[in-house]
Amino acid sequence: MDEVVLDGKVKREADRLLARIVSADSMIVAVKAGARADGFVLGMEVAGGLRMGDAEQLHIIFESALEKRLKALSSI
């Protein structure tokens, strides 16, 4: 997350969303957290709250975390 430039409130929310994905205790919870993170990025992008490239980087970070979590949960 360090490679994306975010202001204080936005960074805290992005960190919170990422933590929800990483700590999800079921696939459904993980997917819901991933969808919420995706909506957050889309909203910030539309509102002009992200620098060029940061929205794509956040999408990649959230998607990667979601894939890892789903893989981990599928092996339980």
Q: Are 6 and 41 in contact (CB under 8 A)?
A: no
Q: Are 64 and 30 in contact (CB under 8 A)?
A: no
Q: Are 68 and 21 in contact (CB under 8 A)?
A: no
CA pair distance 44, 59, nearest whole angstrom: 12
Q: What is the pLDDT along the chain (76 residues), one digit of tens a residue?
A: 777 888 899 999 999 999 999 999 999 999 999 999 999 999 999 999 888 899 999 999 999 999 999 999 999 7
